[in-house]
Amino acid sequence: MTAPGVARPPAARLPLVPRPFRVLATRPETADTTTLTIEPADGIPLSFAAGQFTMLGTFGGAEAPISVTSSPVARPLQQTIRDMGGVTHDLTTVAPGDVLTVRGPFGTGWNITDGAGGDLVFVAGGIGLAPLRSALLEALANRAAYRRVVLLYGARTPGEQVFRDDLARWAQGDGGIELDVTVDRADRGWTGPVGLVTNLIPRARFDPANALALVCGPEVMMRFVAAALIDAGVPAGRIRISLERNMKCGIGLCGHCQLRELFICTDGPVLPYNRVADLMTVREL
C-alpha cells in the first residue's frame, strides 16, 4: 500500500528482471563515494520518479539498493554510491565500459508537484543529498511552478560534501535555488556556518504554511529536522522523509526492509513524516 500523499509512479515493465547497463563515466564525490553515469545496453531509457531507487549489481555478484540521483526528465542515468562493504565496493570501483545489472525502479517518489505554487524546502545531511538531487533537478526543470526553492545542506566536514560542482553553481544563484550550507567541523578554508543543519532552518526564507519539505539524511538528523520544521510552522503531513533499510527483493516479499507494518521498498522509501514519526522513536524496530 502506498503512503497517503505520496504518489506511486506507473510500474516498470518486468522490474524484477535485471537489465544490462553500461558504465559511461565515474566521478568521485568524496573519499568513499562515487557517482556512476550509466546507460541501458538495449537503448531503452529507464523511466523513474525522483526519489525512487534501483537494485544495482555486478554480473555474477550481488546487488544493492541505490537511489537514482539524476533528473527524471533528462538522460543519462546517474546513481551515487558510498563504499560501505563488498557489494558497494565492487560498484564504486567499476570503470567506463563495464556492464552492471539494474532492476527496478522501485518504491515511492518525492512527488514534488504537490508543492506547486508554494515553496519547496530541501534539507539534506551528508550523502542524503543524493536521493534529493533528482527532485532538485526536476524542480529546476520546471522552476516557474514553485515560489522559492530552498536547499539546506549539512555535512560533517567540507571534504565530505557531495555534488560540490552543483553546490558551487547553486551558490551563485544558478537555477534560482536559495542555498545554505553548514559543516560540523570546519577546515582552514571553510568560511561558512559551523553547526547542525537544524541551525539553518530558522534563518531560511520560506512560507511554512505553503511549503513542502523534503528531508534525507541519517535517521537521527531527520527526526530533529522534522521537529524543527514543525516548530517553524510546516505541517507534519507536508514533511516527507526518505528511509533507508536493507532492501533485497523490491516488492515487499522478503521482509528485509520491514518497519512494523511498512515495507520500505514498496510503501517507501519516501513517506510522510506524520506516518512514521512514532516508528522512528522505537529503538531497533
Name the pLDDT band for 77 (thresholds 50, 70, 90). Answer: very high
Architecture of domain 19-106: Beta Barrel (2.40)
Which cell numbers hold the place of 117? 505554487
Q: Is the pLDDT of residue 11 over 80?
A: no
Task: Give me the pLDDT at residue 12, please.
Answer: 45
* Stated pTM of the model: 0.92
Task: Give me the pLDDT at residue 6, please.
Answer: 66
Q: Is the pLDDT of residue 1 over 60?
A: no
Pick the CATH number of 112-281 from 3.30.360.10, 3.90.1310.10, 3.20.20.70, 3.40.50.80: 3.40.50.80
Query: Can you tell me the mean pLDDT for 5-28?
Result: 76
Query: Can you tell me the mean pLDDT for 42-50?
Result: 94
Parse the chain into domains and list their residue ranges. 19-106, 112-281
Q: Is the pLDDT of residue 197 over 80?
A: yes
DSSP state of 194: B
Sequence-distant (6+) residues with CB within 8 A of 103 are 15, 16, 17, 18, 19, 54, 55, 57, 63, 250
Determine the Cα–Cα distance for residues 104 and 19; give it in Å rounded to an integer.
9
Q: Is the pLDDT of residue 285 over 80?
A: no
Task: Give me the pLDDT at residue 10, please.
Answer: 47
**pLDDT tens digits for range 235-263:** 999 999 999 877 888 888 888 888 889 99
